[in-house]
Chains A and B, each alone.
Chain A
Amino acid sequence: MNTKTYKPLLIFIAFLFLTLFLLLPLLIIFIGAFSQGFEVFWYSITEPAARHAIFLTLLVVVVTVPLHTLFGLSAAWALTKYRFRGRQLLITLIEIPFAVSPVIAGLVFIILYGVNGFLGEWLHANNLQIIFAVPGIILATMFVTLPFIARELIPLMEAQGSDAEEASLTLGAGGFRTFYHVTLPAIKWGLLYGVILCSARAIGEFGAVSVVSGRIRGATNTMPLHVEILYNEYQFAAAFSVALLMSLFAIFTIVIKQVVERKQQLG
C-alpha cells in the first residue's frame, strides 16, 4: 500500500475516534441536560448550591491564572535569558505536575496541611484552615496547573533568543521598558494560549481538588465535584446540566485557542 491509500483510512480512523470519544459524549451531555426540559436545566444551574460551585470555580481561576502568569513569565525569562547552575533541574521541576497523578498531589497537601499533617497543629493553633477549605482547593489547583503557562513560554522564548532585548538595551531602554515594548508583544499570543489552557484545566480539575475539598455543598464544592455529587444522587438531568455548562466553557476556550493559534502563526 502506498501513502495515497492510507490517507482516507487514517482520516476515517481519526473521525471515528473523535465521534466515539468526543462528539458522542458531548451529544449525550446535551441530551441529558435537557431530558427534563429547559426549566430543569435552568434550575439546575441557578439553584444556590450550583451557583456557589460556579462561583468557587471562577474564584479558583481568578486566583490561579494570574499567579501562574506571573510565575510562568518569571520562570521562562530566567530559564531562557540566563544560564545558571540548576537550570536543567528547574525545567524538570516545572514538569513534575504533568507526571504526578492529581490524587497524589491532593494527598501531599493533606499530609502537609491536614489536621494530622506536618503543619496541621500549627495551622490549627493559629486558626487557619487550608484542607477542606477554599485555600486547599486553590493550592491543589495551582499544583496541577503549574506547568501550563511556563511550558508554553519556554520554547517560544528560547527560539526567539535575546537579540531583540539586547538591541533594546543598547538603545537605552531599561529592563521594564524592554519587557513591555519588546518581549511582551513578541510572546503575547503564546502567553494567551498558555492562559487559556491553564484556565481550562483550573475549571475542570477534579482529582486533586476532590481530595482536599471535603465537598461541603455551598462551601467547598467546585463545578466538577458538584457534577459528581449530583450524579451519585441520581439527579442525572441536574448533573448533565452543570456538565453542559462546563463543556460550554471548554468549547469556548477551544474556540479562543483556535483564534490565538491562527494569530500566532500569522505573527
Chain B
Amino acid sequence: MNTMSITITGITKDFGKTKVLKNINLTVKEGELLALLGPSGSGKTTLLRMIAGLEHASKGDIFFDGNNMTNVNAKDRNVGFVFQHYALFSHMKVKDNIAYGLRVKKKKDRPTKSQIDSKVNELLELVKLEGLGERYPSQLSGGQKQRVALARSLAIEPSVLLLDEPFGALDAQVRKELRRWLRTLHKQTGVTTVFVTHDQEEALDVADQVIVLNDGEIIQEGTPSDIYDSPNSPFMYRFLGNANELKGTATKEGISIGGVTLASGEPLADGENVVSYVRPHEISLAHTSGNDHRLEVEITKTHPVGPIVFIEARRLDRAQEHIEIELSKGTFDNLSIKVGDIMYAHVERFRTFQANEYMI
C-alpha cells in the first residue's frame, strides 16, 4: 500500500462567531497510528473531517506527502473514513459494501469482476469475517459492522485511514477487543492512521502518538507515556483523571497545603495560589507522623480490587478535602489499615501549577 504522511499547517475553522479550530499545526508521519484525543466540542472530529475533505477549513492547508490537498474534493482524496455509527449501506450485502469503492471507480481504473471478488475475500479474511459476505449489515453485531466498515475503507487502498470514534457505539468488552485488533491490523497494513476518541484509556492504549485537543487548540502532544507521565497543565490532569488535586499557596520553601509544606523544585512566586496534582499511587501512608509523612488524614473507605487497594481518606487540615490513595495489597496488609484510622500521608511525586488560570 502506498501510504502517505499528513501535514496540517495553520488550520482555522469558524462556524459563524465560534472558532472551532484555532491555528492547528501537526504532522502525522507515514505509517504512524495517531490519536486525536479531546472532550466533546474540542474540535477533534472537525479536524478529522477536514483531513477527509468532508469539511473545509476557513484558513490553513492540508498536505498528503507534501501535496496540497486543501482544495481537493473528498471523492478524489483517496482516504478511508470510518464512522462512529458504521454508515454501512444497509441495502447492500457485506461483500457489496466492501466492493463499493472499487465498483464506483472510473472504467479505466476499475478492477475486473474477478479481481474485485478476490479483493473482497482477502479483506473479509483480514477483518476476520470470512463467510459473512452474503449477510446484510442488519444481520451483524456492532463489532462486526465496524469491521465491515473498516474493510470497505481499506478496499480502495487509501493513502490515509481516518476513524471517527470508531468504537464509541460498542460495548466495553467488544471495544477492548477491537482496539487491540486495530493495533494488529495497523501493523499488518502499515497505513497512516488517525483516529478520534474522547476516551483517554483508548488513546493511550492504541496510539503511537497522541494529540490532545481542547477548545480548538492543541494542549499537548507526545507518546502515550509522555502524556500519562507528564501532563503539562491542570486541564491535562483533570482530563486524564485519576489524580488528586491539592490547592495551596506557594512559599519560599515550597508549597503550603493545609499547613503542610511540600518541597517543590518549581519556580513559583511567593504567596501565589497554586494547585498540585498527585496520582493516587504516588502517595504513601504511615501510622505515625514523620519527616515525610505529615499530611494528617482519616481513612474513610478501603476497597481492595485484586492486587491493588483503593483508599479514600479525608484531610484533617483546613481543606477537609477527600483524597484517593492506591496501595499494593501487601503494603495495605502490612499497615493493617482500617476505616476510621488517623494516618499521615506522604506525597512522593507531584506537579504544581498556578491556580488563577483555570480556577472556577
Contact assessment for B89 and A182 in the assembled complex, using a CB-CB cutoff below 8 Å: yes
Does A173 count as interface, using CB distance less than 8 angstroms? yes
Known contacts A177-B104, A181-B100, A181-B104; is A170 also within 8 Å of B81 by CB?
yes
Contact assessment for A166 and B75 in the assembled complex, using a CB-CB cutoff below 8 Å: no
Contact assessment for B89 and A172 in the assembled complex, using a CB-CB cutoff below 8 Å: no
Known contacts A171-B104, A172-B156; is A186 also within 8 Å of B91 by CB?
yes
Please encode chain B, from 52 to 77, with 1 for each CB lying within 8 Å of some chain A CB and 0 for all others. 11100000000000000000001111
Contact assessment for A167 and B104 in the assembled complex, using a CB-CB cutoff below 8 Å: no
- Interface range, B side: 20 to 34
Note all chain B residues with C-beta closer than 8 A to A168.
Answer: 89, 100, 104
Does B20 count as interface, using CB distance less than 8 angstroms? no
Does B349 count as interface, using CB distance less than 8 angstroms? no
Note all chain B residues with C-beta closer than 8 A to A173.
Answer: 75, 100-101, 104
Chain A residues within 8 Å of B, Cβ to Cβ = 163-164, 166-174, 177, 181-182, 185-186, 267
Does B78 count as interface, using CB distance less than 8 angstroms? yes
Contact assessment for B105 and A164 in the assembled complex, using a CB-CB cutoff below 8 Å: no
Note all chain A residues with C-beta closer than 8 A to B77.
Answer: 170
Does B228 count as interface, using CB distance less than 8 angstroms? no
User: In the assembled complex, how far is the CB of residue B78 from the closest CB belonging to chain A, in whole angstroms?
Assistant: 7
Note all chain A residues with C-beta closer than 8 A to B153.
Answer: 170-171
Note all chain A residues with C-beta closer than 8 A to B88.
Answer: 164, 167
Contact assessment for B87 and A163 in the assembled complex, using a CB-CB cutoff below 8 Å: yes
Beyond contacts A170-B74, A172-B156: 18 other A-B pairs, Cβ-Cβ < 8 A, are A163-B87, A164-B88, A166-B81, A166-B83, A166-B87, A167-B81, A167-B88, A168-B104, A169-B54, A169-B74, A170-B54, A170-B75, A171-B104, A171-B152, A173-B101, A173-B104, A181-B89, A181-B104
7 sample A-B contacts, Cβ–Cβ < 8 Å, listed by A number: A163-B87, A164-B89, A169-B74, A170-B74, A170-B153, A172-B78, A173-B75
Does B85 count as interface, using CB distance less than 8 angstroms? yes
Note all chain A residues with C-beta closer than 8 A to B104.
Answer: 168, 171-173, 177, 181
The one of B80, B85, B90, B91 in contact with A170, judged by C-beta atoms closer than 8 angstroms, is B80
Contact assessment for A171 and B156 in the assembled complex, using a CB-CB cutoff below 8 Å: yes
In chain B, what residue has the closest Cβ to A173? B104
User: In the assembled complex, how far is the CB of residue B96 from the closest CB belonging to chain A, in whole angstroms?
Assistant: 10
Contact assessment for A169 and B75 in the assembled complex, using a CB-CB cutoff below 8 Å: yes
Interface of A is mostly: helix
Please encode chain B, from 290 to 323, with 1 for each CB lying within 8 Å of some chain A CB and 0 for all others. 0000000000000000000000000000000000
Contact assessment for B54 and A166 in the assembled complex, using a CB-CB cutoff below 8 Å: yes
Note all chain A residues with C-beta closer than 8 A to B100.
Answer: 168, 171, 173, 181
| Complex alpha-carbon distance, A166 and B84, angstroms | 13
Task: Pick the 7 closest A-B CB pairs, nearest first.
Answer: A171-B101, A163-B87, A173-B104, A170-B81, A167-B87, A185-B91, A169-B74
Chain B residues within 8 Å of A, Cβ to Cβ = 52-54, 74-81, 83, 85, 87-91, 100-101, 104-105, 149, 152-153, 155-156
| Complex alpha-carbon distance, A181 and B54, angstroms | 19
In chain B, what residue has the closest Cβ to A177? B104
Contact assessment for A172 and B105 in the assembled complex, using a CB-CB cutoff below 8 Å: yes
In chain A, what residue has the closest Cβ to B164? A163
| Complex alpha-carbon distance, A19 and B81, angstroms | 56
| Complex alpha-carbon distance, A171 and B77, angstroms | 9
Which of A171, A186, A267 has the most chain B CB atoms closer than 10 A to its own CB? A171
Contact assessment for A170 and B89 in the assembled complex, using a CB-CB cutoff below 8 Å: no
| Complex alpha-carbon distance, A143 and B270, angstroms | 77
User: In the assembled complex, how far is the CB of residue A88 from the closest CB belonging to chain B, in whole angstroms?
Assistant: 16
User: In the assembled complex, how far is the CB of residue B142 from the closest CB belonging to chain A, in whole angstroms?
Assistant: 15
| Complex alpha-carbon distance, A174 and B81, angstroms | 16
User: In the assembled complex, how far is the CB of residue A149 from the closest CB belonging to chain B, in whole angstroms?
Assistant: 20
User: In the assembled complex, how far is the CB of residue A170 from the closest CB belonging to chain B, in whole angstroms?
Assistant: 4
| Complex alpha-carbon distance, A250 and B80, angstroms | 49
Note all chain B residues with C-beta closer than 8 A to A163.
Answer: 83, 85, 87
User: In the assembled complex, how far is the CB of residue B48 from the closest CB belonging to chain A, in whole angstroms?
Assistant: 11
| Complex alpha-carbon distance, A44 and B153, angstroms | 63
The one of A172, A181, A185, A186 in contact with B75, judged by C-beta atoms closer than 8 angstroms, is A172
Note all chain A residues with C-beta closer than 8 A to B156.
Answer: 171-172
In chain B, what residue has the closest Cβ to A167? B87
Note all chain A residues with C-beta closer than 8 A to B83.
Answer: 163, 166-167
Contact assessment for A170 and B76 in the assembled complex, using a CB-CB cutoff below 8 Å: no
Note all chain B residues with C-beta closer than 8 A to A169.
Answer: 54, 74-75
Note all chain A residues with C-beta closer than 8 A to B101.
Answer: 171-173
User: In the assembled complex, how far is the CB of residue A152 from the closest CB belonging to chain B, in whole angstroms?
Assistant: 18
The one of A164, A166, A185, A267 in contact with B74, judged by C-beta atoms closer than 8 angstroms, is A166
Note all chain B residues with C-beta closer than 8 A to A164.
Answer: 87-90
Which of A167, A173, A174, A186 has the most chain B CB atoms closer than 10 A to its own CB? A167
| Complex alpha-carbon distance, A242 and B89, angstroms | 46
User: In the assembled complex, how far is the CB of residue A147 from the closest CB belonging to chain B, in whole angstroms?
Assistant: 27
User: In the assembled complex, how far is the CB of residue A141 from the closest CB belonging to chain B, in whole angstroms?
Assistant: 33
